[in-house]
Amino acid sequence: MVPQQRQSRTQGRMRRSHDALTARRTVRCPNCGAHKLPHAACRDCGYVRPGLKLEFSKED
């Protein structure tokens, strides 16, 4: 399908005004201070939340 009429420069720009990407949010691990994704286990120490700590071997 092909547009029936060319969209104006302003209309195209107005549509793209919502297209910007935002950087990935990270939080500091309260256990070791490393950056980690929120609601995820820390890559360095495995800390998730008080009372829950995951043990895993580093694969990367």
Closest to Zn ion by CB, 12 or 30: 30
Closest to Zn ion by CB, 16 or 24: 24
Closest to Zn ion by CB, 34 or 37: 34
CB atoms within 10 A of CB 29: 18
Cα–Cα distance for residue pair 39/16, rounded to 1 Å: 31
Residues that bind Zn ion (CB under 5 A): 29, 31-32, 34, 42, 44-45, 47
In the complex, minimum distance from the CB of residue 31 to Zn ion, in angstroms, rounded to a whole number = 4
Name 27's bridge partners.
36
